[in-house]
């Protein structure tokens, strides 16, 4: 019960903080939307040039994909390892360690609380894209509910994954290169750059065994109706599996990492 109240309080802090800077959030979101709009325009053109379809996607499919992609991108925003460099070297982590709650819960609840503001800003932009390109997508209640579950699970997985990477700063204090490498893998193996059906077969097979696919491609294809119900079941089980694996990873890494902490606050 105590942790539940803490989550509600910290999520409220995140909501209030983001609402106060909603203009900055809107500008940042506009920057995020440039990426999918470019992808959308390019791949619609490619599909039409290839006779209407490429990699199993036609122009309409690409439109739906990248509009939903933009929402998944917003939902997947989490604390990056760069912040851990600053916290550790500057001693800012001290204030988190004296609290009776694990720092993971603070960051997770805070970022979760920001989501309503980001989604509220995303909605009018998505409507403009939807009206402009008019994708033909059958939105059912069942798939919408599964999408809701899968997109939050995707956020949990990505936040846990980035938290684990951030903890590596206790050993190196410079994880920038490692983080950038992980982003490169994410671009290629998650569906964030292009749908994985456009990638080589070995990339598609490899993606099943890594967390990236389940944080981007799976929620998107669930929403736009490209997955059967058995495939959706497999995807949800994969998400649950990755949450369990990463939770164990955080438990093992954090206990060892915190014993190495020697920074002094300024």
pLDDT for 108-130, tens place per residue?
998 898 888 888 888 888 888 88
pLDDT band with cut points at 50, 70 and 90 for residue 21: low
- HEC profile of 193-228: CCCHHHCCHHHHHHHCCCCHHHCCHHHHHHHCCCCC
Question: What's the CA gap between 174 and 84, in Å, rounded?
Answer: 9
Residue pLDDT, tens place only, 211-240: 999 999 999 999 998 999 999 999 999 999
pLDDT band with cut points at 50, 70 and 90 for residue 264: low
- Give percent above pLDDT 90 in the chain: 32
**Token output for 13:** 């802090």
Query: What does the pLDDT average to over 139-165?
Result: 93
CB 26 within 8 A of CB 119: no
Domain boundaries, the chain: 2-258
Give strand pairing partners of 53: 58
**SS3 at position 187:** helix
Question: What's the CA gap between 191 and 212, in Å, rounded?
Answer: 8
Question: What's the CA gap between 126 and 27, in Å, rounded?
Answer: 15
pLDDT at 244: 97
pLDDT at 174: 67
User: Is 68 or 266 the better-scoring residue by pLDDT?
Assistant: 68
Residue pLDDT, tens place only, 171-210: 776 677 778 888 889 989 999 888 999 999 999 999 999 9
Query: What does the pLDDT average to over 160-175?
Result: 81
Q: Which helix (H) or strand (E) holds 57?
A: strand 57-58
User: Is 141 or 174 the better-scoring residue by pLDDT?
Assistant: 141
């Amino acid at each position: 019960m105590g942790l539940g109240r803490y989550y509600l309080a910290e999520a409220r802090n995140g909501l209030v903080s983001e609402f106060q800077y909603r203009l900055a959030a809107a500008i940042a979101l506009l920057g995020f939307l440039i990426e999918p709009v470019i992808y959308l325009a390019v791949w619609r053109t490619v599909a039409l040039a290839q006779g209407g379809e490429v990699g199993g996607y036609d122009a309409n499919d690409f439109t739906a994909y990248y509009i939903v992609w933009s929402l998944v991108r917003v939902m997947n925003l989490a604390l990056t390892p760069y912040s851990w460099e600053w916290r550790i070297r500057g001693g800012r982590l001290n204030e988190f360690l004296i609290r009776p709650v694990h720092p993971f819960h603070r960051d997770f609840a805070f970022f979760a609380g920001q989501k309503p503001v980001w989604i509220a800003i995303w909605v009018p932009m998505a409507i403009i894209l939807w009206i402009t390109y008019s994708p033909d997508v059958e939105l059912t209640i069942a798939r919408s509910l599964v999408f809701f579950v899968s997109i939050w699970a995707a956020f949990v997985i990505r936040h846990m994954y980035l938290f684990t990477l951030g903890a590596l700063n206790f050993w190196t204090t410079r994880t920038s290169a490692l983080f950038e490498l992980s982003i490169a893998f994410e671009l290629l193996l998650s569906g964030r750059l292009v749908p994985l059906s456009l990638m080589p077969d070995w990339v598609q097979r490899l993606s099943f065994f890594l967390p990236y696919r389940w944080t981007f491609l799976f929620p998107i294809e669930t929403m736009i109706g490209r997955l059967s119900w058995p495939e959706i079941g497999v995807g949800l089980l994969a998400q649950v599996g990755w949450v369990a694996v990463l939770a164990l990873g955080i438990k093992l890494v954090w206990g060892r990492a915190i014993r190495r902490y020697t920074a002094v606050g300024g």
